[in-house]
Amino acid sequence: MTSGFPDIRPRRLRSTPAMRRLVAETRIDPAQLVLPLFVRDDIVEPAPLQSMPGVVQHTFDSLKAAVVEAAEAGIGGVMLFGVPGESDKDARGTAATDPDGVLNAATRVVADEVGGALVVQTDLCLDEFTDHGHCGVLASDGSVDNDATLVRYRDMAVEQARAGSQLLGLSGMMDGQVGAVRAALDADGFQDVAILAYAAKYASAFYGPFREAVGSTLRGDRKTYQLDPANRREGLREAVLDVEEGADIVMVKPALSYLDLVADVSAAVPVPVWAYQVSGEYAMIEAAAANGWIDRDRAILESLTSIRRAGAEAVLTYWAVEVATTLKGL
């Protein structure tokens, strides 16, 4: 202190918008954003989701338009989720490995349309395709059979790669899923197809709106394979194991309630770390903004900045195109 005044004045670096922009420690680039998209094969026009304002289940035609828009916005990629009709669901999720099933057909459409401009990514999980809604094959006692599920994942991986997926999003949280899928891809000549492991995926309450988006028929819960929200070290352990099995990228999901895990994993693994800003996070901000309780645009950017600040190198977000367009206009 000199003459009663502080010698150190951090506020100098906050004095103007230009100064704040110049010294910002964390930035968001459109290429760091991935847009999740839902495609359904039994509708003739896009179906809006009540719990996720602005998000729809796409037809194949509207999907084409959406991915072209995404490419023009300069985002990094799209993650595709298939929504089969109820009559196409069964206990083993056989539609997931049908070359003409909704997800594989949609992947071919997107790969043909924008495969050179975006990274085409596909969700590799059985929950959308099973009549019981679980992410795997059920044993006789009703539990999820880990190793029987891996057999299905291997077949799904090969079909998705054949359809043109460049990055497979393994979201089922089965033990050994990364190693099993890597071996299947390599054996079938798809050594260049990459694996995104949903490594630290928690049994979260924030997935609720997503269940509407994929027409989930889940009975019970997923607590025997998704992580307990109370456990931090376990999430880090899962990420390290997935890297050891051959994951090219690892994911933390959800994002905002698990920023500590994003930071932990980013500090511990040598591969890119991503985070998924899930449906419940999206719905909460949209609902609060619709009620006039928060500034929507600021809340969206602040939430994404916090995820990047924690260490995520890319973020899956339903606002990907909107935010990319906003950033390009700044």
Domains within the chain, CATH numbers bracketed: 27-329 (3.20.20.70)
pLDDT, position 330: 63
Do strands 56-58 and 47-48 pair parallel, antiparallel, or not at all (unpaired)? Answer: antiparallel
pTM here is 0.95
pLDDT, position 320: 98
pLDDT, position 3: 65
Query: What is the phi/psi pair of residue 143, to 5°?
Result: -80, 165
Per run of 10 residues, the mean pLDDT along the chain (length 330 residues) is 78 95 96 97 93 95 97 98 90 94 97 96 94 88 94 97 98 96 98 97 90 76 91 97 98 97 98 97 97 98 98 98 90
The amino acid present at 54, given as its one-letter code, is G
Distance of CA 97 to the CA centre of its chain: 21
Kind and range of the H or E run holding 69? helix 60-73
Query: What is the phi/psi pair of residue 312, to 5°?
Result: -70, 130
pLDDT, position 2: 58
**Which residues are catalytic, by number?**
201, 253
Helix, strand, coil percentages (3-state) for the chain, rounded to 5, are: 45, 20, 35
